[in-house]
Structure 1
Amino acid sequence: MMGYILLILGIALFVGGHWFKRLAPAKRAAMGDKGKGLVALLMLAGLVLMVIGYRNAGFVNVWVPPAFMTHIANLLVLIGFWFFALSSIPGTLSAKVRHKQLTGVKSWAVAHLLVNGDLASILLFGAMLAWAVVSVILINRAEPTWTRPANASVKNDVIAFVVGAVIYGIVAAIHTWLGYYPFPM
């Protein structure tokens, strides 16, 4: 039970920290630069609590994912890392997608929901998916116009894909080290 409490508290801190600026801009602005550190600390504490809570949450099976979903999930995680890389490396795709990091989080979260049918996973990855979707809505309402990145190139799309693939490989190795082998036989 304590694992679930920590998981939910972590989600609340992480999401609340991210949305504070969007939902209470005057309060956030009144905090000045010192507020950035406090909000970042709350989000970091939320992330740590999510990891601890998730790792300690008792296993409650909700559904059993079919084995073939692993392939789809791996592809979605790779796409998620590619979008994260595109947020720093302006390719032609990054000129078409406004919220590259949030799109990456959505792809990553859906991937994990496809292959994890336990309650803790549904809470964690479902919350991250909901956070990313609502964040896009909040940002688009606050800042309806978007200037597309200039000088986008296909070459940068390829570079971003390679960076995403390397990060994917590192994360897959970490998952394997932790006992969660991400590749089916």
Structure 2
Amino acid sequence: MTGWAEYTLALALFAASHFVPRLGGLRERLIGAVGRRVYFAAYGVISLALLVWVIAAAGRAPYVELWPQLPWTRWVPNLAMPVALVVVACGIGAAQPFTLGGGKTFDPAQPGFAAVSRHPLFLALALWAGAHLFPNGDLAHVILFGSFAAMALAAILAFDAKARRAARADIFAHTALLSLKPMTCSAWRRANLRRVLIRSAMGLLVWVALLHLHGLVIGVSPFPV
């Protein structure tokens, strides 16, 4: 299977892997059967494998140019990705239950990184996808990255709506979609700065590794030419 057929199938299976488990309480039944740790570990592996397939299939799809790749466009993801990976590293396990990868409880007195962003993983996904649209102006990649950006933004709206239905006004009062203002607060820095700096360093290390593995794994050098 090659061309658009493979790409369409890969996209469909990736989307289904995210939506089907939510239908009819399937996810809850699977978690009850195998446990949360096993379920989310298996789900993560499957999602990653499908993501790799989607990206590879996009590269094999017929090339239909919508806009040309100019040298400067490669700078956009190169500048955006270190920010995205720092946000991911700092945001994993953020003390905010109404988001992807968030903690189970929220303490208004100690919001942690959620004060900077209550949806760090979704914002990082949108930043990754949006930045990669600039140097990838062919139809297959525009569909790919455009879909990921749209899904991330839609998920932010959906999780915020869920928090409102749960009457969690405290979350909105002590968090932001994205704000650096908490970092100007001495109390927040005392409680969080060390952890944020350590995680930021980890995120930057991952970025350096991905930058140099990009050509090997994806088949395209990320460096401007």
What does residue 160 of structure 1 align with?
199
Report the CA distance between 1:76 and its aligned residue.
1.0
Aligned partners of 2:215 and 2:195: how far apart in 1? 30
* 1:101 aligned onto 2:121: yes
- What letter matches 2:28 in structure 1? A
What does residue 180 of structure 1 align with?
220
Aligned partners of 2:205 and 2:69: how far apart in 1? 27
Q: Percent identity?
A: 25
Structure 2: gaps of 5 or more residues: 95-110, 176-187
What does residue 10 of structure 1 align with?
10
- What letter matches 1:85 in structure 2? A
- What letter matches 2:213 in structure 1? I
1:153 partner SS:
helix
Aligned partners of 2:46 and 2:224: how far apart in 1? 37
- What letter matches 1:105 in structure 2? L
Matches within 5 A, 1:67-106: 67-88=71-92, 93-106=113-126
Report the CA distance between 1:28 and its aligned residue.
3.8
Aligned partners of 1:7 and 1:124: how far apart in 2? 10
- What letter matches 1:63 in structure 2? W
What does residue 126 of structure 1 align with?
146
Structure 1: gaps of 5 or more residues: none
Equivalent residues, number: 183
Q: Closer, same or farther in 2 for the Cα pair 1:31/1:175, shift >3 Å?
A: closer
Report the CA distance between 1:105 and its aligned residue.
0.6
2:62 partner SS:
coil
- What letter matches 1:126 in structure 2? G
Aligned partners of 1:119 and 1:157: how far apart in 2? 38
Deviations 1:120-141 (A, max 9, x none): 2111111111111111122222
Report the CA distance between 1:104 and its aligned residue.
0.7
Aligned partners of 1:99 and 1:8: how far apart in 2? 29
Q: Closer, same or farther in 2 for the Cα pair 1:58/1:95, shift >3 Å?
A: same
Verify the 8 A CA contact 1:84 1:100 in the aligned structure 2: yes
- What letter matches 1:118 in structure 2? D
2:71 partner SS:
coil
Aligned partners of 1:141 and 1:157: how far apart in 2? 28
1:49 to 29, 49, 53: 53
What does residue 62 of structure 1 align with?
66
Verify the 8 A CA contact 2:91 2:113 in the aligned structure 1: no
- What letter matches 1:157 in structure 2? V
Aligned partners of 1:34 and 1:118: how far apart in 2? 43
Aligned partners of 2:203 and 2:11: how far apart in 1? 25
Q: Which has the larger radius of gyration?
A: 2
| C-alpha RMSD of matched pairs (Å) | 3.1
- Structure 1 stretch displaced more, 165-174 or 133-142: 133-142
Bigger relative contact order, structure 1 or 2 (CA pairs below 8 A, ≥6 apart): 1
